[in-house]
Amino acid sequence: MMNGTWKVDARDGKLAMAHIYVAFVALALGGLAGLLQVLVRSGKFELPAGISYYTILTTHGVLLGLVLTTFFIIGFQFAAVSRTAGTLSDRVRFWGWIGFWLMTIGTAITAFYILIGEASVLYTFYAPLQAHAGFYIGLTLVVVGSWISGFAMFAHYAKWKKAHPGQVSPLLTFMSVVNMVLWLVCSLGVAATVLFQLIPWSLGYVDRINVLVSRTLFWYFGHPLVYFWLLPAYMIWYAIIPKIIGGKMFSDSLARMSFILFLIFSIPVGFHHQLVEPGIDPAWKYLQVVLTFMVVIPSLMTAFSMFATFEMYGRSKGATGLFGWLRKLPWGDARFFAPFIGMLFFIPAGAGGLVNASHQLNQVVHNTIWVTGHFHLTLATTVVLTFFGGAYWLIPHLTGRVMTKAMNRLAIIQTIVWSIGMIFMSSAMHFAGLLGAPRRSAFSTYGDAPQALEWIPYQIAQAVGGTILFIGIILVLIIVTNLAFFAPKGETEFPVAEVAEQAERTPLVFENWKLWIGIAVVLILIAYTVPFIDMIQNAPPGSKGFKLW
């Protein structure tokens, strides 16, 4: 498995670090926006100087949901392919930089239009709310930049394959390629609605827009998007955590199989975000509910692999009893502790996700703050804590520094602070959501409705949790700044796990891209063709744009 160099080439490291800097700047600004939101929503504070709650909310969603994630993921994956499939060629690196600058310029343009109040449309930008064209153009540049980076990674992978005929590619490279294929296939949907619908319409070239088609294209993209966030966390869990704890990977083939299942099943599922909307036949909704449940399977496999990795390691160190192996895990190592806590939070996160996707059960929770609570467990805890845990070795590896004991201790504290804050905030969100409290809304008592007054204690709990989380953000920013600029010089390992002896050899079939992409496309066509034609054939008159903020 040990192909290529042990250390990421300094030039590749610079490319990865550029992405990571942008990601953490986004975390700082987006986190501040989040703090303001929970304070407003408690009913105890108001924003100064006429700043709109919804401008802040748009900022929060775009910076954390789109910018932090995409930049960290692409930076991490460039480092991972460089580490496992060898130093990038000058050409690949050049295109990586082009991708980076397109994404950064796009982010700056989009952020500008949000901050001047021309784009308070939230990060889902549902038509017929109409933002300034600059908002959509900026987002387009972000997506196009990410495509270029994706193709750069594909080119690097192809070069490795050519140099190693008949060999199984390094696991982290394989996983990065799967994730970028997933991203490319799904972002075609959002690109279609932005390029062919939203931009011409916001520039005034066309008058009207088909709202349901636009939403459907968005959600064709919107759910695989969350898997694009999750898979890099799974990369760290499968291929890196075993090395950090000093153990072995449970199985290379099962890891690849779960990634292929994600590639196949995570796209034809967008209707589960549209379960309570008109214009779509419920039978087609149900079909996509079934496909959504299939994408749970690779996560069930992952849960088993993770526990098995930990148990095998613990037992190799002499652990006995049913759970004795837990005590052998390196609890004092933040590189393990942060992602491990992220894994634990994925249990309630997954449970909530099953409810969301459950056809008519969606009526109980749709667009309530339960949903916000759900993705603050998935993205803002499971994924983000895993990324933090990754940053604790990736940044010093790339900057030629070492994490001090003090910083490691601070990172442990950071993880605990994050967990406490999130337990407060997310639980309150889940329970208030079951009572009916809506998401994406400023503070309101709805005319002093008795029901709405019942939600206020939960909203105060959210503010307490959100404030604790903001402290968590400050802590991680201190750690990251230290690791990037101030930590002592030295060598930090980029850990890559080896496979356990008893695991079987990995078959080559997982790299039969024509087969897997072919199956994915067939499923997409089955799930979407008929309802999409229905939408267009039975389309109501289109909508003009509205600017209601």
Partner 1 sequence: MHMHKYEKIWLFFGIGSLFVFLAVLGVGAFAQGTQPPSCLTTIDPEKVDQTPPFDKPGLVKTGENEYQLNIVASAFAYTPNQVEIPKGAKVTINVATKDVIHGFEMAGTNVNMMVEPGYVSSYTQTFDKVGEYVILCNEYCGAGHHLMTAKVKVVEQ
Partner 2 sequence: MKTQLNTSTPKAKVEKEPALKGTLASVLFLGFFLIFTWVSVYFLFLNRL
By CB under 8 A, name the binding residues for partner 2: 300, 303-304, 307-308, 310-312, 314-315, 321-326, 347-348, 350-352, 354-355, 358, 360-361, 363-365, 434, 500-502, 504
Which of residues 1 and 211 has its CB atom nearest to partner 1 in the complex? Answer: 211
Tell me, yes or no, if 315 is annotated catalytic: no
Assign 3-class secondary structure to 275-339. CCCCCCCHHHHHHHHHHHHHCCHHHHHHHHHHHHHHHHHHHHCCCCCCCHHHHHCCCCCHHHHHH
Q: Least separation, in Å, of the C-beta of 451 and partner 1?
A: 5
CA–CA distance, 328 with 308 (Å, rounded to integer): 14
Q: Is 367 left (phi over 0), alpha (psi -120 to 50) or beta?
A: left
Q: Least separation, in Å, of the C-beta of 247 and partner 1?
A: 16
Q: What is the DSSP letter of 2?
A: -
- For residue 440, the partner it binds in partner 2, partner 1, none, with Cβ less than 5 to 8 A by kind, is partner 1
Q: Least separation, in Å, of the C-beta of 521 and partner 2?
A: 30
Tell me, yes or no, if 336 is annotated catalytic: no
Apex 474 CA angle, 472 and 476, nearest 5: 70
Which of residues 271 and 370 has its CB atom nearest to partner 2 in the complex? Answer: 370
- For residue 335, the partner it binds in partner 2, partner 1, none, with Cβ less than 5 to 8 A by kind, is none
Tell me, yes or no, if 359 is annotated catalytic: no
Tell me, yes or no, if 174 is annotated catalytic: no
Cα dihedral angle (15, 19, 20, 22), rounded to 10 degrees?
A: 140
Catalytic option among 273, 376, 397, 401: 376
Q: Least separation, in Å, of the C-beta of 243 and partner 2?
A: 18
Fill in the amino acid letter for 375: F
- Determine contact, residues 341/384, Cβ cutoff 8 Å: no
Catalytic option among 154, 375, 392, 528: 375
Question: Among 52, 19, 26, 115, which Cα is nearest to 473's?
Answer: 26
User: In angstroms, what CA-CA distances link 5 with 82, 83, 394, 422, 493?
Assistant: 8, 6, 15, 39, 12
Q: What is the DSSP string of 390-414?
A: HHHHHHHHHHTB---HHHHHHHHHH
- For residue 49, the partner it binds in partner 1, partner 2, none, with Cβ less than 5 to 8 A by kind, is none
Tell me, yes or no, if 374 is annotated catalytic: yes
Which of residues 179 and 356 has its CB atom nearest to partner 2 in the complex? Answer: 356
Tell me, yes or no, if 223 is annotated catalytic: yes
Tell me, yes or no, if 440 is annotated catalytic: yes
Q: Least separation, in Å, of the C-beta of 415 and partner 2?
A: 20
- For residue 322, the partner it binds in partner 1, partner 2, none, with Cβ less than 5 to 8 A by kind, is partner 2
Which of residues 348 and 472 has its CB atom nearest to partner 1 in the complex? Answer: 348
- Sign for the pseudo-dihedral over CA of 147, 150, 156, 160: negative
Which of residues 282 and 490 has its CB atom nearest to partner 1 in the complex? Answer: 282
* Rg, C-alpha atoms of the chain: 23
- For residue 93, the partner it binds in partner 2, partner 1, none, with Cβ less than 5 to 8 A by kind, is none
Catalytic option among 60, 439, 510, 532: 439
Which of residues 1 and 471 has its CB atom nearest to partner 2 in the complex? Answer: 1
Half-sphere exposure of 126 (CA within 13 A, CB side): 8
Which of residues 159 and 359 has its CB atom nearest to partner 1 in the complex? Answer: 359
Catalytic option among 132, 374, 397, 430: 374
CB atoms within 10 A of CB 456: 17
Q: Least separation, in Å, of the C-beta of 3 and partner 1?
A: 23
CA–CA distance, 36 with 469 (Å, rounded to integer): 12
- For residue 317, the partner it binds in partner 2, partner 1, none, with Cβ less than 5 to 8 A by kind, is none
Q: Least separation, in Å, of the C-beta of 151 and partner 1?
A: 31
CA–CA distance, 96 with 74 (Å, rounded to integer): 9
Active site residues: 223, 227, 374-376, 439-440
